[in-house]
Structure 1
Amino acid sequence: MLHATEPRKLKVPAGKSTLVLDDITEVASKLQDFDQHEQVWLGRDAERGLTAIAAIHNTALGPGLGGTRVWPHESFEAALTDALRLSRGMTYKSAVAGMPFGGAKAVIVADAKTDKTPELLSAYADMLAALEGQFYTGEDVGLTVADADFLRERTPNVTGTTKGGSGNPSPVTAHGVFLGIKAALKQQRGPGDLVGVRIAVQGLGSVGWALCEELHGEGAKLIVADIDAQRVERAASEFGATPVATDAIIAAEADVFAPCALGGVVSEATIPTLKAAIVAGAANNPLARHEDARRLMERGILYAPDYVINAGGLINVAAELAPGGYDRAATMTKVAAIPVTLSAIFERAQAQGRPTNDVAAEIAMERIEKAKARPA
């Protein structure tokens, strides 16, 4: 068990803030999911109830950009592992999408329904302000657009806001996933529409719901699960979706399994139960382990790498930081390229007999190494 009781203190925000900010990179390096991360920060504020981890994985392409997740992890080690895995995924996501940003992610260890107070968010804003230049963040699981607005009033390195930003990135993420599912179906079946295609959507949050709207609009048959029973009932009413239990959706009789909740659901234990021929969804890190993509391949199941198919939200918020500011039309043109990128990955993986996530990671690293080789 890891403990963060005595990390080396490197910097404390100026002023009267009660925040303590520590470098815990050495602590993080002892975990299996540490992957040459450049820096890992722990922010603590006992008075305002904050415990937050910001993991900066790789900034070869630019400053770290990634959302902030609010989740009541069962242990410090679990929260740190989550931050490490998510930040690495952001590096790959940005590189494959051609964005001039590196990979970073933050986790606030709290229950978003009961612990997320203005005081806690104010403490987190102090932490973000101290990390300005290293890390830009925005909405994620447990952190709403309203929260992003609150943070943006207190620190400049927040994206996806309604005031001066591009707003909620979830519909853009969902649209990219929608296009990616169609690309995966085309790879498996050839050209065709979505009418009658059975798609099991796990998670009906902002992205999952927006995805269901698009899929339903083109005639897909939806199977849905969520921990919120009211959302499931609403999906059944509005989309004619078939509800199933949260622990049964991965084994549903479907053509596509679309994980849109938390990660780690596709594992050595659950892969044998999959009936879908495609795994393609919005969740970050849906695979419990990297090698699970090979297990999917060996079963003839096509996997759309998460950081490729769900890059729409990143593309959207990154556009806010572009010279000249946010351009909606240019952003959606970049999102429309997601299926093109996926198709190239699918073809390369098939030709080489390799898992799709290996090919996607290889493409990401090629771009990162190229950036490192450029003269300073």
Structure 2
Amino acid sequence: MFPHDRVIVRRGPESGVPIIVAVHSTALGPALGGCRMKAYPDWRDGLEDALRLSAAMSEKCALAGLPHGGGKTVVVATGAFDRDAALRDVGTVIEELGGAYWTGPDVGTGPADMLTIGERTRHVFCRPVAAGGSGDSSPATAAGTVAALRAVCGDLPGRSFAVLGLGHVGARVARLLAEAGAKLVLSDVDPARREVAGELGADWVTPDECLTAPVDVLVPAALGGVLTAEVVPRLRCAAVAGPANNQLAGPAVADLLHERGILWAPDSVVSAGGVIGATGAELRHESPAEVTARLDGIAATLTGIFATAEREGVTPAAAAAAEARRRMAAARS
């Protein structure tokens, strides 16, 4: 992947906490990436997260056919601090970039926080609907995930899925699969989420049991890093496809999945629905029909990646990364 265009690390003048903005690429257009507010052992861990996640956003946008590159904001939430002041500091840094980077919600932030960032810059998306934004992006992320699942296993009725993580996106994916007639195994670290299983008539299991359930498709829908060298030998699914970002604990895990004959759908493709929906509505002013067509197009993108991987004898992860690099290189030239 290409080196980053620009990285800013600054102690917020109002909040006093580290504010990190990483712009990976603007070859295809202004960079996009959420604002993550999270505690880290050290600010350098936050920097590493920003660098990795911004590069992943470049791949996501390129594969989704969006006229955008990838970026990321990380607010290193250490000790007691003024949250609104930190968000205003984020807005100040983003405004200095002059439109090269736009941010939206991520772990630890939501649509309401985009209003606070928006006090200092207009380069935000996913503001609340009442404020003229597109609001919560989880419905679009879930719709894109289900489109991807159709590419993985064809017809959904009668197929079995283990959904790990029942937050805004995971719960919506589970409901859409239930409506389509799929069989479900559900889990979340929060036992209160068990009510979703009861509502859908699904089996409720522990997270570890969900991870290794004998199903057609495992659907990781929580935080990343769930697929490790230790976990892969225990999997009993035919495929893995979900909206969680950065599912692979390391690049070598893609090879381990391939060796076991488990089809992995790159999360950079599966999870693209949120950014497709939000930026389509707010930045490109696309109609609902145009946004829906882009979401449905995730299936075709994934099918093409699978075909390339099989033809060239590589993993889907390698095929996806190569295609993203090709598109960005073509734009740069």
CA contact (8 A) 2:31 2:101 kept: yes
Give 2:71's aligned residue.
104
Match of 1:55 among 17, 22, 25: 22
The residue aligned with 2:90 is: 124
Distance 1:238 1:110, change over 3 A: farther
1:219 has 2:181 as partner: yes
Separation in structure 1 between the aligned mates of residue 43 and residue 208 of structure 2, nearest angstrom: 26
Alignment of 1:343 onto 2:311? no
The residue matched to 2:225 in structure 1 has which SS?
coil
Are the counterparts in 2 of residues 166 and 326 from structure 1 also a CA contact under 8 Å?
Answer: no
Contact 2:17 2:81 in 1 (8 A): no
Instruction: Check the 8 A contact 2:18/2:43 in 1, yes or no.
Output: no
Distance 2:23 2:84 in 1: 25
Q: Deviations over 1:133-152 (max 9, x none)?
A: 22101012221112223323
Inter-partner Cα distance in structure 1 for 2:181 and 2:95: 46
**SS of residue in 2 equivalent to 1:58:** coil
Paired residue type of 1:222: L
Corresponding residue of 1:77 = 44
Instruction: Show the counterpart of 1:198.
Output: 160
* Structure 1 residue 368 corresponds to structure 2 residue 331: no
1:321, distance to aligned residue in structure 2 (A): 5.3
Q: Deviations over 1:210-241 (max 9, x none)?
A: 1111111112222222232212x221221223
Q: In the comparison of the two structures, how many residue pairs are matched?
A: 331
Separation (CA, whole Å) in 2 of partners of 1:116 and 1:294: 44
SS of the equivalent of 2:50 reads helix
Contact 1:297 1:355 in 2 (8 A): yes
Tell me the amino acid that sits aligned with residue 221 of structure 1: K
CA distance in 2, matches of 1:248, 1:82: 29
Q: 1:223 to 1:46 in 2, by over 3 A?
A: farther
| Contact 1:262–1:283 (8 Å) recurs in 2 | yes
Task: Using structure 2 for the length normalisation, give the TM-score.
Answer: 0.92
- Aligned twin of 1:358: 318
Stretch moving more, 118-127 or 92-101: 118-127
- Kindly indicate whether the alpha-carbon contact (under 8 Å) linking 1:110 and 1:116 is maintained by their aligned counterparts in 2: no
SS at match of 2:328: helix
Does the aligned pair in 2 maintain the 1:99–1:318 contact within 8 Å? Answer: no
* Percent of matched pairs sharing the same residue: 39
Greater shift in the superposed pair: 290-299 or 160-169: 160-169
2:14/2:89 contact within 8 Å kept: no
Is 1:60–1:371's contact at 8 Å kept on the other side of the alignment? Answer: yes
Q: Which runs of 5+ in 2 are unaligned?
A: none
Question: 233-242 vs 352-361, which deviates more?
Answer: 233-242
Task: Check the 8 A contact 2:50/2:72 in 1, yes or no.
Answer: yes
**Residue 165 of structure 1 contacts residue 326 of structure 1 at CA under 8 Å; is this kept in 2?**
no
Aligned residue in 2 for 1:281: 242
Match of 2:134 in 1: 166
**Conservation of the 8 A alpha-carbon contact between 1:193 and 1:218:** yes
1:204 and 1:115, CA in 2 relative to 1: closer, same or farther beyond 3 A?
Answer: farther
Residues in 2 aligned to 1:326 and 1:48: alpha-carbon distance in whole angstroms: 37
1:69 Cα deviation from its structure 2 partner: 1.8
Give the letter for the 2:52 counterpart. Answer: R
Query: 2: CA distance between counterparts of 1:205 and 1:109?
Result: 23
Q: Which has the higher helix share?
A: 2
Alignment of 1:130-279 (within 5 A): 130-161=96-127, 162=129, 163-186=131-154, 192-195=155-158, 197-231=159-193, 233-279=194-240
Query: For each residue in 1:266-290, what CA deviation from the matched residue of structure 2 results, as whole angstroms up to 9, or x when unmatched?
Result: 1212111111111100011101112
In structure 1, give the amino acid aligned to 2:153: L
Contact 1:148 1:160 in 2 (8 A): yes
